[in-house]
Structure 1
Amino acid sequence: MNHQLNHLKSTLLPFSFLLLLAIFTTSCDTLFQYNPNEIVLKDSEKDLNNKNLERIKSLPVKDTLRFILMGDTQRWYDESADFVKSANDQHGISFVLHAGDISDFGISQEFKWVNEIMLKLKYPYLTVIGNHDMVANGPIVYARMYGPMNYSFEFGDNKFIFINTNSREYAFDGSVPNLNWLRAQLTNNPSNKNAIVVAHVPPFDADFDPALEKKYASILAGDPNVKFSLYGHQHTFKDGEFYNDSVHYFLTTSMGARGYMVVTTWKGGYKVDRIEY
């Protein structure tokens, strides 16, 4: 009996070793994730905002720009896939803006799943970070996968300014949003392009630092190039001049609610349409 057990052990151990060896050497491109907090990205999944900005820069510039504002994807993968189909049916779209909460728990696999869905878009897409994207290792994943939390770019008659407004995740310490950076971005606009601020948490939300709310709103209202600003977070369509200062705030709904916005801009003007799919 002992002889049989020893023989069985001697047979299984080499087999187990060979199996593990085969798993690790099956393909140089195979990526393994043993811990949900582990961050393993392919090169094609890194620095996506910059890669998509390069695509946007190659697009023809027209007098009128049409783009899509979408909201929280989180765990609504089927609904996000349906969004892509609906967005691809829109006409004259240059790019898509994701207003944050790409993930639900800040896990790298969530970001990867959403990106796989978004790759089926006919258009490049850009993101701003949401509060759910800041859970666990989310900020590290976002930085590696998409890039800086605060950034801007110009296209035609428009300057887009993406800013992190997830104040609660910083314990309302006065650092987020970075108002000095925002002010500098708005000031650096010598051609007086339409200045479009894009963020996740709107200033009138409880997750926005209450000590910075009025300062933020006054910075936007104090710039004549800011006509409107774009957000997600509240999982519902909403819009209005919440501070009676001529700046219109638009919130798009979540993918779970199956809606998004199509924004049309031209020099000094704009139009926003709600789309349900």
Structure 2
Amino acid sequence: MKNIYPLLLGLTLFLLSSCEELFEYHPNQIILQDDERDLTARNLAKLESQQPGDTLHLLLMGDTQRFYDAASAFVDKANTFPHIDFVIHQGDISDFGLSQEFKWVHNIMKGLKWPYLTVVGNHDMLANGRKVYRQMYGDFNYSFVYGHTKFVMIDTNGREYGFNGKVPDLDWLSKELTRQPGDTWHQAIVVSHMPPYDGDFDTSLELPFHETLKESDRVQLSLHGHIHNWRTEETYDNTILYHATTTVKKRGFTYLKVWRGGFEIERIAY
């Protein structure tokens, strides 16, 4: 009998080494395939290969968390549209910040006919979520130009930084909203998970955030998720429209059309 123990030990080590891709040994462990990395850059490259028209067509959704059936149903509905330029996931991709949650949602979202881009949500910063998001998607703050419009994607999850007065990064935001010689964009749309009127937004930056958008003279629209409900209003001084899209759990998303100098918002139930 004593000779069986080395055999069992050897078999155990073999199974552990050969099944590395099948199991995560700790919920915070990050095991990503090559095609699950740098998704922001990959999808921006897809956008660069597209030709934007005079009117841009976008779908806005978010707060997928553990609502995988609802997220799958969203993809099915989105793919019925004849043309969409891209989809924006407005944060809370995950519920607990676990890499497997991000992977499950991406496995659903990659079924879209259209590129999709994201902003980071407060739930995406739990546990090891910050590292997962950076590896899977990329920077928390980034921007891109598509046709006549610049999209500025910014981290506004102030509570997750202890309301330190630095998130959102208003200096970065102001620079992104300032046109430089040679810039081709005419207007900007700001996208974040946390709307400025929410209690999880750093209250010391709430009005400065709005003033930054207003003073740029380039922003008419700011897009958000987080509140798990619809809310569309000019919250402060009737200069910027703040639009929040409900969670996929409630089977809703936004169909947004954008043209030079204007936009149209449609709430879609599915």
Instruction: Identify whether the pair has TM-score above 0.5, normalized to the shorter chain.
Output: yes
Aligned to 1:225: 218
Please point out which of 19, 25, 30 is paired with 1:34: 25
The question of 1:77 aligning with 2:65 is answered: no
8 Å Cα contact 2:40-2:118 kept in structure 1: yes
8 Å Cα contact 1:261-1:274 kept in structure 2: yes
Aligned to 1:269: 262
The question of 1:178 aligning with 2:135 is answered: no
How does 1:16-165 map onto structure 2 within 5 Å? 16-25=9-18, 30-165=21-156
Percent of aligned positions with the same letter in both sequences? 48
More displaced, 87-96 or 109-118?
87-96
Secondary structure of 2:238's partner?
coil
RMSD, aligned α-carbons: 1.5
8 Å Cα contact 1:101-1:131 kept in structure 2: yes
8 Å Cα contact 2:52-2:85 kept in structure 1: no
Give me the TM-score of the superposition, normalised by structure 1.
Answer: 0.93
Shift of 1:90: 1.6
More displaced, 80-89 or 216-225?
216-225
Secondary structure of 1:105's partner?
coil
The question of 1:169 aligning with 2:160 is answered: yes
User: In 2, distance between residues paired with 1:193 and 1:150?
Assistant: 21
Shift of 1:191: 3.8
User: In 2, distance between residues paired with 1:91 and 1:220?
Assistant: 33
User: In 2, distance between residues paired with 1:13 and 1:79?
Assistant: 49
User: In 1, distance between residues paired with 2:82 and 2:244?
Assistant: 22
8 Å Cα contact 1:192-1:225 kept in structure 2: no
The one-letter code of the counterpart of 1:213 is E
The one-letter code of the counterpart of 2:267 is R
User: In 2, distance between residues paired with 1:42 and 1:32?
Assistant: 13
Aligned to 1:257: 250
User: In 1, distance between residues paired with 2:42 and 2:265?
Assistant: 27
User: In 1, distance between residues paired with 2:251 and 2:81?
Assistant: 15
8 Å Cα contact 2:61-2:246 kept in structure 1: yes
More displaced, 17-26 or 198-207?
17-26
Shift of 1:21: 1.1
8 Å Cα contact 1:31-1:40 kept in structure 2: no
How does 1:206-221 map onto structure 2 within 5 Å? 206-221=199-214
The one-letter code of the counterpart of 2:108 is I
Question: Structure 2 unaligned runs (5+)?
Answer: none
Alignment length (residue pairs): 268
Shift of 1:122: 0.7
User: In 1, distance between residues paired with 2:205 and 2:8?
Assistant: 63
When Rg is computed on C-alpha atoms for both structures, the one with the higher figure is 1
Give me the TM-score of the superposition, normalised by structure 2.
Answer: 0.95
8 Å Cα contact 2:252-2:267 kept in structure 1: yes
The one-letter code of the counterpart of 2:229 is T
User: In 2, distance between residues paired with 1:52 and 1:252?
Assistant: 22
The one-letter code of the counterpart of 1:50 is A
Shift of 1:31: 4.9
Shift of 1:224: 2.3
8 Å Cα contact 2:122-2:157 kept in structure 1: yes
Shift of 1:155: 0.6
User: In 2, distance between residues paired with 1:121 and 1:230?
Assistant: 21
